[in-house]
Chain A
Amino acid sequence: MAVAGAIATLSPILAWFAQQHWEPLPFQQATWAAYLDGKSGMIQVPTGSGKTYAAVMGAIAEMLAKPRKGLQLLYITPLRALSRDIEQSIKRPITEMGWKLQVESRTGDTSSAKKARQLKNMPEILITTPESLALMLSYPGAKERFQSLQCVILDEWHELLNSKRGTQTELCLSHLRHLQPNLRTWAVSATLGNIDEAAQAAVGLTAQPAIIQSNLERKTIIRSILPASVDSFPWAGHLGLRMFEELVAALDINTSTLIFTNTRAQSERWFQALTFALPDDTDKIALHHSSIDVKEREAIEAGVKTGTIKWVVCTSSLDLGVDFQPVERVVQIGSAKNLARLLQRAGRSAHVPQGTSEILFLPTNALELLEIAAFRNGLAAGDLESRRSLTKPYDVLIQHLVNLACGDGFVAAETLASVRQTMAYQTLTEAEFGWVLDFITNGGKCLGAYPRYKKVTLTETGVYQVTDTQIARMHRMGVGTITSNQAVRLVYTNRKEIGTVEENFISKLKKGDVFFFAGRQLEFFMLKDMVAYVKGTTRKSTVTPTWGGGNLAISDTLSTHLRQEIAAIHTESDFPIEIDCLAPILAAQERIAHLPTDTELLIECCKTREGQHLYVFPFEGRFVHEGLGFLWGYRFANQKQATFTISVNDYGFEILAPKDYPFKQLFSQDFFSLEHLQADIKECVNISELMERKFRGIAQVSGLIFKGYPSSKKTSSQLQISSSLLYEVFTKYEPENLLLKQAENEVLREQLEVHRLEHTLERLSRLKIVWKESKRPSPFAFPLLVERWSSRMSNETLLDRIQRLKEQWQNK
């Protein structure tokens, strides 16, 4: 489109901007021009700098210039909680200017009546989530529904990119592009280390993405809240609640403040502590996390906007783009573990372009003080993490194909072609695709057979189709489960909704148990049809609901800075205040075991009632430690059979062995060897639980586990099955199943990354080993001792293991 034409097309947009007394920012203008030029691309600017209007206004200008019927703009957001704000932002110019465009949302919160109406009659602009988009493709008529579509916006793409939901989005987009080849895709992403790759994944492999970055400089300042004395730190206390008085002292109840925690359980506890500390201001403090009922969340967001609510304790539910204009201060409790996340959260405190962001950091254990210093250096160096699209997860592809088969159906050859246009499946072979087709039509290949199996059928005209309406219904129920653990609705006995908790938490409660949720004390009454009924109570309780997925790992980038920080303790004399504060702990570390320099690797051995512990501290981040822990575990077990429990954190790992296990005699320089590395890793995967764990998620996404209909609210007992039982059956009778292969790949690629292990082993092999036998775990070791994130590996016989368990049983 010619420049003059573009200006004419944009004139209604410019008119609205003028009415607001806004000057379009250069990056907004650049995005509009590129869009009108027919390009796809990615916008990378800090949060709160006007990215939503940059993303949508090109498309809206075109819709006004060339009115069409049907859906034209699809806006995909990772969190349904965000859809409301986006809807409001997009509606604002439309209402103010009286443009004839309809804007609606479609998420898990949308009523089924509205959803049904939308399927028949789409609005011009629709805001939705990846799951809801996938579901729309599972209804017949997708071709007509999406043929008028011009533009897809992928908001917060960095959040989706390296997850299965991101892969699901890539696949859905590939199908939309197949239905409408001229479709333009624009991703919006926060800061990332690998923008080009992220942009390519968003637009698909056939397009050349335009990348638009703003030169907005935003300064981020990190301040830490330090305890009066470091002895007051629990060494490993994950919650560090003892610091709440210092936090209250550092803040002002009349300043609007977001208090970020890393997990929902943590946010519950902090909310409880803060309301306890400020009994007169409890109505100014609110709790916000994704398990809280949507109406309540809305009320909180509105309260913050009008200023009646001042402090919000929150989790990543408020990480993303919700527009919280009046927030003046941001607090991070516990390490954010990742520079990009910290920047994003800090960005919430100055939600205007070119402001300065300040974030207050409150450590929850002593070692996190090291991380603050590392964060600051990382930010100064401008280092940021990269996120990559996953490599051909078969489970997501299975779900996608069944999805299409439930809708209009699909033809093999053209679908393979469009699937291969995604970053995730670019290397998908015909054999692999063939296996997936076989799996969904015949059940796959195995030692037995599947004579009664039917899911997808191949029609005479070569179309893959689901014909059984019950199977289609079961499949649609499963589509939302990529992320969520089975959620149970929490309802007062008078039927007022409170929120959702995970089933495995509720299932542990007995009638009369009291727990804390959404800032309330609740007494459990009963669980019926996936609804937990509770009553308010004043009785005391210490139980806080737990939610899965709360574990964050420190990034590679940050771990490098962390090691530098520890090395600097030995060489420098001028420390940041955080390190000063940490001095007593570091002294204890030196006294009990040793404080390693950057040329030393500390290995600590210690005996307790639980058995023989080995602690190793490479400071490489949780993921590398997991790989290394399992590799070394295998290299020990290979010499002397054993059962180990391996725990990891960001600083090191622990191998727990039966008592008197001779770690020291068995250890040698061979543990750093790169020889047989591949083979050793494969072996250690085989004797560990890692694959079975990964298979859990895969079984769910690929539709092997059916969790029941919400309408009937009962899991059909005839179809109840645990993923471990499925895993057992598959490994026994269908060892070639690609889903098992995928579980293995996920372990090898995501958990035990070989190239990272090589790099780490090489670095460690150059260090001087300092082997210490300590009487009790050192400050570095203590957090590992109480770490609950652990897995087992064993090459002993079942009988040996039972005999030992029996001994322990009898001595109990």
Chain B
Amino acid sequence: MKITIQTTELELLTEKAIYIEQLRLLLVSDVHLGKSETFQAKGIPIANIINQVNLERLKKLCDTYQPEQLIVLGDLFHSRLSLVPEVLEAWQHFLNQCGAKVQLLVGNHDRALIPQLSDLSMQCVDSAIQCDRLLLSHEPLSQSGFLNICGHIHPCLNLKTRLDRLRLPCFYYSKHPEQLILPSFGEFTGGYEITLKPGSVAYVIADNAVIPFEGK
């Protein structure tokens, strides 16, 4: 689904990513690679195929949109225990294949990991990135005149009537401050229920559609 905010046209993708044609820029956030490994190390068996599933989806996006640049808005890796050879190698393999310049804007989960990421062929950035009228960050920021695109929150919309109830990941747009929050890209990640305020919109992802819900 395409939306235009200020003068920027953004394509909200059901794969939980944003593509900006004008800038040939692909944005994802909160991938949480190696989350299974973290759980496994603590005696909780979560299948590590999840990393592969996430990377395949990301690779497919790169193949389809051929972006010049891919920026991960933080929390690419889940924890220190995630940085095992097979996870790092799979990521490096992706970097080699994706054909885009990749930047990681570190988040709260991977800030402490920067020294261990130096061997990877991507750039780690520790502060917000200004890009045209956009302000890219991990945690929500507000700076007037800019559209802040960020992650961190893992927004979900809870839809509930007496008859039915659904809880779905969404892109969350709010007017004041002007912000667009990405859903978490990772498969095995939880969500935070947002409340829709007047002027805000939740773009809910359902199967192969993005459906807007406006706050009233």
Most buried by B among A439, A657, A721, A804: A721
Judging by beta carbons under 8 Å apart, are A454 and B43 in contact?
Answer: yes
Whether B164 contacts A704 by the Cβ 8 Å rule is no
CA distance A471 to B159 in the complex (A): 38
Q: How far apart are the CA atoms of A452 and B79 in the complex, in Å?
A: 14
In the complex, are the beta carbons of B45 and A443 less than 8 A apart? yes
Complex-state Cα separation, A471 to B41, whole angstroms: 9
Near A by CB (< 8 A), chain B positions 65-97 give 78-79, 81, 84, 86
A706-B42, A809-B159 in contact; A449/B207 too (CB < 8 A)? no
Task: Evaluate contact between A450 and B164: CB separation under 8 angstroms.
Answer: no
Q: Is the CB of B213 within 8 A of A658?
A: no
Mask, B36-47, CB within 8 Å of A = 1, is 111111111111
Pairwise interchain contact A450-B47, C-beta atoms closer than 8 A: yes
Interface residue from A475, A725, A792, A801 paired with B188 (Cβ < 8 Å): A725
Write out the residue numbers on chain B whose beta carbons fall within 8 Å of the beta carbon of A444.
45
Contact in complex: A448, B44 (CB < 8 Å):
no
B166 and A450 form a contact (CB under 8 A): no
Complex Cα gap A103–B127 (Å): 64
- A805 touching B190 by the CB < 8 A rule? no
B44 A719 Cβ-Cβ under 8 A: yes
- Determine the chain B residues whose CB is within 8 A of the CB of A470 once the complex forms: 42
Q: Which of B42, B48, B50, B166 is within 8 Å of A802, CB to CB?
A: B166
Q: Which of B50, B79, B164 contacts A645 (CB 8 A)?
A: B164
CB proximity to B under 8 Å, residues A753-789: none
For residue A733, CB closer than 8 A to chain B, the reply is yes
A460: chain B residues within 8 A (beta carbon): none
**B154 smallest CB distance to A (angstroms):** 11
Closest approach, in angstroms, between the C-beta of B205 and any C-beta of chain A? Answer: 10
A448-B47, A802-B204, A804-B164 known; A722-B190 Cβ under 8 A: yes
Question: Is there contact, CB below 8 Å, between A439 and B45?
Answer: yes
Q: Contact between B209 and A451 (Cβ–Cβ < 8 Å)?
A: no
State in angstroms the CA–CA spacing of A804 and B189 once bound together: 27
Closest A residue to B46 by CB, please name it. A729
Indicate the member of A439, A475, A656 with the most B CB atoms within 10 Å: A656
Evaluate contact between B49 and A733: CB separation under 8 angstroms.
Answer: yes
Most buried by A among B45, B47, B50, B81: B45
* Contact between chains at B49 and A453 (CB < 8 Å): no
The yes or no answer to B194 lying at the interface (CB within 8 A) is: no
Q: Are B161 and A797 in contact (CB under 8 A)?
A: no
Instruction: Considering the complex, give the chain B residue whose CB is closest to the CB of A794.
Output: B164
A806 at the interface (CB under 8 A from B): yes
Asked whether B211 is an interface residue with its Cβ less than 8 Å from the other chain, the reply is yes
Q: Contact between B46 and A643 (Cβ–Cβ < 8 Å)? A: no
Name the interface residues of B172-216: CB closer than 8 Å to any CB of A. 187-190, 204, 206-207, 209, 211, 213, 216
Counting CB contacts under 8 A, is A812 at the interface? Answer: yes
For residue A484, CB closer than 8 A to chain B, the reply is no
Contact A645 B40 (CB under 8 A): no
A656 engages B43 (CB within 8 Å)? no
Chain B residues with CB below 8 A from A680, complex form: none
Asked if B190 and A725 sit within 8 Å, CB to CB, the answer is yes
Are B165 and A720 touching (Cβ within 8 A)?
no
Interface residues on B, range: 35 or more
CA distance in complex: A658, B189 (Å):
32
Q: Is the CB of B162 within 8 A of A729?
A: no
Q: What B residues does A792 contact at CB under 8 A?
A: 164-165
A656 CA to B164 CA, complexed, in Å:
10
Render B144-167 as a binary contact track against A, CB cut-off 8 A, 1 for contact. 000000000000000101111110
Measured between beta carbons, the chain A residues less than 8 angstroms from B188 are 725, 729
Known: A808-B161, A812-B216. A802 touches B45 (CB 8 A): no
Let me know if A805 and B48 touch, CB within 8 A: no
A116: Cβ under 8 A from any B Cβ: no
Q: Which residues of A contact B42 (CB under 8 A)?
A: 470-471, 474, 706, 719
Given A725-B188, A802-B159, A805-B164, the answer on whether A448 and B49 have CB atoms closer than 8 Å is yes
Q: In the complex, which residues of chain A have a beta carbon less than 8 angstroms from the beta carbon of B49?
A: 446-449, 733
> Which residue of B81, B84, B86, B206 is within 8 Å of A799 (Cβ)?
B206
Given A446-B49, A799-B206, A806-B213: A451 and B43 interface contact (C-beta under 8 Å): no
Do A733 and B159 contact each other (CB < 8 Å), given the known contacts A452-B40, A645-B164? no
- Cross-interface CB contact of A718 among B43, B79, B168, cutoff 8 Å: B79
Instruction: Decide yes or no whether A430 CB sits under 8 A from chain B.
Output: no
Asked whether A23 is an interface residue with its Cβ less than 8 Å from the other chain, the reply is no
Whole-angstrom distance between the Cβ of B207 and the nearest chain A Cβ? 5
Cβ contacts under 8 Å, A726 to chain B: 46
> For A802, what are the chain B residues with a Cβ–Cβ distance below 8 Å?
159, 166, 168, 204, 206, 211
List, in ascending order, chain A residues with CB within 8 A of B163's CB.
610-611, 643-645, 656-658
Other-chain contact of B78, A454, A645, A718 (Cβ < 8 Å)? A718
**Complex CA–CA separation, A801 to B190 (angstroms):** 22
A452 touches which one: B84, B168, B213 (CB < 8 A)? B84
**Known pairs A799-B206, A812-B216; A450 contacts B48 (CB<8 A):** yes
Contacts of B216 in A (CB 8 A): 812
A451 CB contact (under 8 Å) in B40, B52, B206: B40
Closest to A647 in B: B162
A707 at the B interface (CB under 8 A): no
Q: Which of A700-728 contact B (CB under 8 A)?
A: 703-704, 706, 718-722, 725-726
Instruction: Tell me whether B45 and A450 are in contact (CB under 8 A).
Output: yes
Name the residue among B44, B81, B209 with the largest chain A CB count within 10 angstroms.
B44
Cβ 8 A contact of A704, one of B37, B44, B84: B44
Q: Which one, A447, A453, A658, A798, contacts B166 given CB within 8 A?
A: A798
Which B residues touch A719, using CB under 8 A?
Answer: 38-39, 42, 44
> Which residues does chain A contribute within 8 Å of B207, judged by CB atoms?
797-799
Query: CB within 8 A of B41: which of A452, A643, A812?
Result: A452
Residues of A within 8 A of B50 (CB): 448, 729, 733
**CB distance B166 to A805 under 8 Å?**
yes
User: Which of B43, B48, B52, B159 neighbours the largest number of chain A CB atoms within 10 Å of its CB?
Assistant: B43
How far, in angstroms, from A611 to B41 measured CA to CA in the complex? 49
B-chain residues with CB within 8 Å of residue A451 when the two chains form the complex: 37, 40, 48, 84, 86
**In chain A, residues 469-487, which have Cβ atoms closer than 8 Å to a Cβ of chain B?**
470-471, 474-475
- The answer to whether the Cβ of A289 comes within 8 Å of any Cβ in the partner chain is no
Which single member of B38, B52, B86, B161 contacts A610 (CB below 8 Å)? B161
Q: Is A351 in contact with chain B by the CB < 8 A criterion?
A: no
* Closest A-B pairs by Cβ, 4 of them: A448-B49, A443-B45, A448-B47, A455-B43
Q: Which B positions have Cβ atoms within 8 angstroms of A?
A: 36-50, 52, 78-79, 81, 84, 86, 159, 161-166, 168, 187-190, 204, 206-207, 209, 211, 213, 216
- Give 11 pairs: A residue, B residue, CB < 8 Å, sorted on A: A452-B81, A453-B40, A454-B40, A471-B43, A474-B42, A610-B162, A657-B163, A721-B39, A729-B188, A802-B168, A809-B213
Known: A448-B52, A450-B45, A643-B164. 7 other contacts (CB 8 A): A443-B40, A449-B49, A452-B40, A452-B41, A645-B163, A729-B187, A799-B207
